[in-house]
Amino acid sequence: MNNTTSNVSNLGQCDQPINDLFAYACVYYTLHGYLSLAICCFGVPTNLVNIIILTRKSMRNPINNILTGIAISDAITMMSYIPFAIHFYIQHGLERTPAKYTFEWTWFLALHFNLSVTTHMISIWLGVCMSIVRYIYIKSMGIGKINIDQAKSVILVVMVFLISILFCIPNYYITKVRITAGSNKVYMLENLRLGEKDMPWIEALAAWIFILMGKIGPCILITISGSLLLYTLHVSQERTKALKGARVEERMRTHRRTTIMLLAIICMFIVAELPQSILLLIGIFKENFFKVEYALLADTIDILALINNATNFIMYCAMSRQFRDILFDMTCKYLHNGEDASYSHVKAIQTKTSHVHV
C-alpha cells in the first residue's frame, strides 16, 4: 500500500519500456530522488520553523495547536524520506543489488514504509480536525457559543496521533523482510498481494483500514467540512456587513484571510491524497493493478505528498501577517544579535497584532 515499496524497479529494466506509462515511470525514476531530496531539504527546516512560531505564546490557539501537530508529522515524514531518497534513488539504480538491499537498509525501508503510512494518516486526520474546529469557530462568531479551548485542542492532537498508530498496527504486522533465492541474494520486503485471489485476511484488513481510514474517509470528511467552512464564511461576511466601523472590518478581513489559508491547506490535502485513494480502491478490485499500474505511478504519488508536506510554510508567510512579523523578528535576532531599528519596529507591530491568530 505504501508508495515507497512499489516502484518501477519491481517491474524490470527500462531499456525496453512496455508502454507509455512504463516509459514515463522510467524517466521520472531518474529525477525522483533529486526532486524529493530538494523538497525535503526545504520542508524539514521550514516545518521546524512552523513549529517554533506556532508554539510561541502569542500564537497559541486551538487551530495553531492542530497546525503544529501537522508540522510535526510532516517533518517526521520528510526526515525519513531524505536517507531513503539518497540510498534507493540517488546512490543506486534500478537493479536489485546486494549493496542496495542489505539487511540493514531493508529494515530501514520497512521502518520508513510504516512511518510514512502513519504520519500521512496523522496529517490528514489533523486536517479534518482543523477544518471542523474552524467551521465551529466561524459558525459561532457573534452568537456566544463555546468553542474548543487550547487544552482540548492539545488533547485532540495527541488522540489523533495515538488512534492513527492504533489503526496502522495491521500494517506493521504484515511488513516482513525476506531473502531472495538464487545466486544474487538480496533482502526484500514481502510483496503485498493487494487485489489477488489468495490475499491473506490480515493483508485485506490492513488494506481496507488504510484505504477507508487513512485515505477515502478523511478525504470525504475534509471535503465536506471545507465546503461547510466556505459557506459559513460567506454567511458570516453577509451578517457583518450591517456592522460599521474599521475595527469590525479589520477583524473580518483577518478571519477571511485565515479561513482562506486553511481552505488552501485543505485543497492541498485533497490533491495529494485523493488520487492515491482512488488508485488503491481500484487495486483491491482489479487483479494485478497494484503490481503494475499503481507501481508505475507510485513515485509521482510520493512527490505530490511531499509537496503537500512542504508548502504550509509558504502559505503561512503569504497569508498571515503575524507569522511574517514573528519570522522577521526571529531573523533579526539571529542576524543582528540585538534590537536594531527594524527589530524594534517589528516588535511594535507584533504587540499590536498579538490578539490576531493565524
The 10s digit of each residue's pLDDT in 152-162 is 899 999 999 99
Cell numbers describing residue 278: 482512488
Read off the pLDDT of residues 221-270 as tens digits, 9 standing for 90 and up.
998 988 888 888 777 666 666 555 555 566 666 667 778 888 888 888 88
Mean pLDDT to the nearest integer, 141-147:
57
Answer for the pair 321, 250: CB distance below 8 angstroms, yes or no. no
Name the more confident of 188 and 105.
Answer: 105
Cα separation, 285 vs 305, in Å, equals: 24
Neighbours of 233 (CB within 10 A): 23
Could you give the 3-state DSSP secondary structure of residue 179?
A: strand
Compare 82 and 263 and report the one with higher pLDDT: 82
Are 12 and 69 within 8 A, CB to CB? no
- Residue 168's pLDDT band, with cuts at 50, 70 and 90, is very high
Lookup result for grid cell 542489505? 102
CATH code reported for the domain at 20-330:
1.20.1070.10
Res 352 pLDDT > 70: no
Average pLDDT, the chain: 81
Nearest to 3 by CA among 205, 280, 285: 280
Note the pLDDT of residue 356: 41
Vertex 62, ends 126 and 328: CA angle to 5°?
A: 95
Domain residue ranges in the chain: 20-330
**What does pTM read for this prediction?**
0.85
Coil vs helix vs strand at 99: coil
Helix axes 62-85, 150-167, angle to 10 degrees: 40
Sequence-separated (6 or more) residues with CB below 8 Å from residue 199: 193, 207
Residues in the chain: 358
With 0-12 / 13-18 / 19 or more C-beta atoms within 10 angstroms meaning exposed / middle / buried, residue 121 is buried
Q: What is the pLDDT of residues 208-222, one digit of tens each?
A: 888 888 888 998 999
Do 107 and 83 meet the contact criterion of CB atoms below 8 Å apart?
no
